Amino acid sequence: MFTSTIKIPFHLCDPAKILFFGSLYEIYHQFLENHIDAFDISWEDWFKKSYGAPIRGLKTSYNRPLAFGKTYKANLKIKHIGDSTVTFLFEVEDENKINHVTTEVTHCFVDSEKREKMNVPTKIKESFAKHLQS
């Protein structure tokens, strides 16, 4: 599990100064990019031109709003590794350890030329397996 703080920026909020629900995925993606090397995966391996890992599925529970300017603790875990997919669990909680958001994000590996799903590359699968949460 990787933990860090996030601060909710105004430009991702609605007029009520609450994070717009769709903006959560921008925050998640930035968090993943910032921590991909912690999984022992280089940028070159994660962003190879021969494949991509677009989001295939999302399952999100919004338990409490995330407010503009407030700092939260975010956790990123690997929940599942399949043949062609990797599912991350991203959780956001406040200073009182109250969960505000939990989201599962499934990425499917795709061959860039064929535009077909492919197996998770061995190097990535092995690196992620070391961090798999039981």
Give a yes or no: residue 134 inside a domain.
no
Give a yes or no: residue 39 inside a domain.
yes
Question: Which range is least confidently modeled, 37-41, 66-70, 92-96, 119-123?
Answer: 37-41
CATH for 28:
3.10.129.10
Per the structure, the complete domain to which residue 29 belongs is given by 2-129
Query: What average pLDDT score do residues 59-77 get?
Result: 96
Report the candidate in 52, 59, 63 with the shortest Cα–Cα distance to residue 28: 59
What local confidence, expressed as pLDDT, does residue 38 receive? 84
Q: What global pTM score does this model have?
A: 0.91
Query: What average pLDDT score do residues 63-79 get?
Result: 96
* Contact status, residue 103 vs residue 61, Cβ threshold 8 Å: yes
The pLDDT-based confidence of 82 (bands split at 50, 70, 90) is very high
Give a yes or no: residue 10 inside a domain.
yes
Give a yes or no: residue 74 inside a domain.
yes
Q: How far apart are CA 41 and CA 88, in angstroms?
A: 15
Give a yes or no: residue 67 inside a domain.
yes
Number of domains composing the chain: 1
